[in-house]
Chain A
């Protein structure tokens, strides 16, 4: 695993990870965004590999099932599933993140019938006691399904081992964010490590995170906060740096929104529920707009961000509703906001770049 400053980090490939976890006696489950109970999967001898698109997959096959006004994450993931992209996995877990993923889970289960089991998880949109109690029982229901998939009923020791490993990986993720200023790596490199959590095992991720070198890598230009669901393609970060800016922090669903607080409750389902409900603000979890704005302001001040880049896949309703209020309130607080919608692909459209360039110029 290479982590030389300035070079791309190298991780095991997804295929290697799959072989590795199989050798450990775990089966693989494909998982759609955003939030799900990682330790629960592990305790059931299952390993999650997440699907965020993927960007390189064309929409064509998915478009046979979803209308043109459906986001790329859902359409491309459907293409991916239909073209055998998750062959060899035991199940696909679709957390209830939004109406689009709800539709995807339903269409998969009712009409497309992939060879994998289609598992769902309803994530409550509140943070009340009733929500926690419900989620606990919902996780119990999911747990029973996971046992059916893996044929394994976790023992107390399995649960302890799983929480220990996944909590450590969660902590490593949080620590990466805490240390960002001191890390001698580019934004692209940093986010490659962050996103490796989407498929590495907890141990592999911890190793990757600790391997990120610290040192003096002066970061010049305008500091930006980036928000949205997922920053694709990774070239985006190179281009932002080339434009004389850098990312000081994020509010991405694939990034900081999954920095959960650890829970120490005894009951494993309660513990998993508590973790999921203790993440940072996230519109897909029903966070009030003001809470999100306040959290963003506080972090932007602390990190020295000069503006906010909201970078969303097209047709993402949970994000779109917040944008005008983010813009208004953050602008009043002295933070300009640029909202860019993108179609997931392997290259960055010129128009997107020009808009970001103009934004950076106004902040310089």
Chain B
């Protein structure tokens, strides 16, 4: 491309829209919104009747970052190449190539938090997708078919990148997306690790990442710049390290944040890892947590029991559950789910990006055995000095949930830790029986009380 005259008219107009609506107006409006949020947070009177401490101040920044990301998405098509990627996909090369990344799972979670998931999922169900498939997939397929989204608009993908390190479901789901959008689907197939990774498994993943880079370069019309790639990797590592530090701060008593906070604050590490803004944000968050620790402020006012959450959150219930538990002195201080984006930080090596990526992306907790997950839970029970474990038996997420019955059994019988299997779904309110759930949680709290 030698001059701007060469650009077709529609490209000019999308660039203009991107510039005006996102770069100029959007970013400024979101900054103003953040100032207002900060002001509100700073001037809000503490509510003596609330069992929760006031929210972290940094939440205003997180809202700005995430909103900016989704806002840019509205105007990204035609300006930046767009890749839709699974949450465990090796995205660093795509970041370095300037792709705008859409995480359908995160988008579905957003729909869940805003309590829009059911009505959007029903669009997919009306089109024939069964209620027995993952509710993230149903939510996004429903959004794709109907255009309904709380994010305004999602840009069409130029490429889909599907990595099976979280489940096989994503491959079935992305095949549906590929059929609908008619765009290339890049598969990064990651053999499930029943034991330690074998070299041929690492080599296989590495080779696929290399192939992905070739496809991504071709679509982007440019080559991957090595230095830029290493910078992204360095940011990814630093972001993941900070995230891990943040989560580990909850080893303090009282814990300065809850796992429910973690579910919300994980947005940047999932959606934007590799970007400098993520590092800056988590530095800010860590500093605020340290300040809380210094001042002895806990995320809940009366922390009596410390609990681990296993599996995805129940997005549509996060606020209610967090308050309900806090009222009973229960702080959910850790979760296997949020840990997944931090625990592999030490494996990321910016000097050997491809080798380390191959290893990192093979090792998420969801790509490892049920026994490994139990060991992780045991370790967390120990390190976080936990009094109990809630295992969310997530109807939608079989890879995370199968194995929980035996894991719970071992936690109770071998470790003597009260553990509850809570039947629900991460995004579909129809699969959560309110009364039954409360009764079971009530009994769980009583068990911890009896042991205290």
Contacts and interface: CB of A to CB of B under 8 A. Distances in A.
Interface stretch (A3-11, A21-29, A85-93, A311-319): A311-319
B171 A125 contact: yes
A289 B179 contact: yes
B171 A122 contact: no
B140 interface: no
B68 to A, nearest CB: 33
A106 interface: yes
Q: Is the interface of B mostly helix, strand, loop or mixed?
A: helix
B369 interface: yes
Given A103-B399, A106-B370, A321 B128 contact: no
B172 A69 contact: no
A107 B406 contact: yes
A99 B166 CA distance: 10
Contact of B402 (A70, A314, A325): A70
A103 B171 contact: no
Contacts of B178: 288
B117 interface: no
A67 B403 CA distance: 9
Contacts of B87: none
B164 interface: yes
B189 A125 contact: yes
A314 B132 contact: yes
A320 interface: yes
Interface string B219-262: 00000000000000000000000000000000000000000000
A164 to B, nearest CB: 28
Nearest to A323: B128
A355 interface: no
Interface string B37-81: 000000000000000000000000000000000000000000000
Given A134-B200, A138-B191, A110 B402 contact: no
B200 A111 contact: no
Contacts, number: 148
A259 to B, nearest CB: 22
Contacts of B398: 69-70, 99-100, 103, 317
Contacts of B191: 96, 122, 124, 134, 138
B247 to A, nearest CB: 25
Interface string A118-130: 0010101110101
A149 interface: no
Contact of A289 (B176, B194, B402, B405): B176
Contacts of B404: 67
Interface string B165-208: 00111011101101100000101010110100010110110011
A100 B404 CA distance: 13
A130 B171 CA distance: 17
Nearest to B399: A99
A321 B176 CA distance: 7
A105 to B, nearest CB: 7
Contacts of A317: 132-134, 168-169, 172, 398
Contacts of A69: 132, 395, 398
Nearest to B375: A110
B211 interface: yes
Nearest to A118: B194
Contacts of B128: 323-324, 327-328
A283 interface: yes
Contact of A141 (B192, B200, B207): B200
8 contacts: A99-B168, A106-B369, A109-B194, A138-B191, A283-B172, A286-B187, A317-B168, A323-B129
Pairs A-B, 10 closest by C-beta atoms: A103-B402, A324-B128, A110-B371, A321-B172, A137-B200, A134-B204, A111-B406, A122-B191, A106-B370, A99-B398
Interface of A: 64-67, 69-70, 96, 98-100, 102-107, 109-112, 120, 122, 124-126, 128, 130-131, 133-134, 137-138, 141, 283, 286, 288-290, 314-315, 317-318, 320-325, 327-328
Interface of B: 127-130, 132-134, 137, 164, 167-169, 171-173, 175-176, 178-179, 185, 187, 189, 191-192, 194, 198, 200-201, 203-204, 207-208, 211, 369-371, 374, 393, 395, 398-399, 401-406, 409-410, 423
Given A106-B370, A317-B398, 9 more contacts: A67-B405, A106-B194, A106-B403, A110-B369, A126-B187, A134-B201, A138-B191, A141-B200, A321-B175
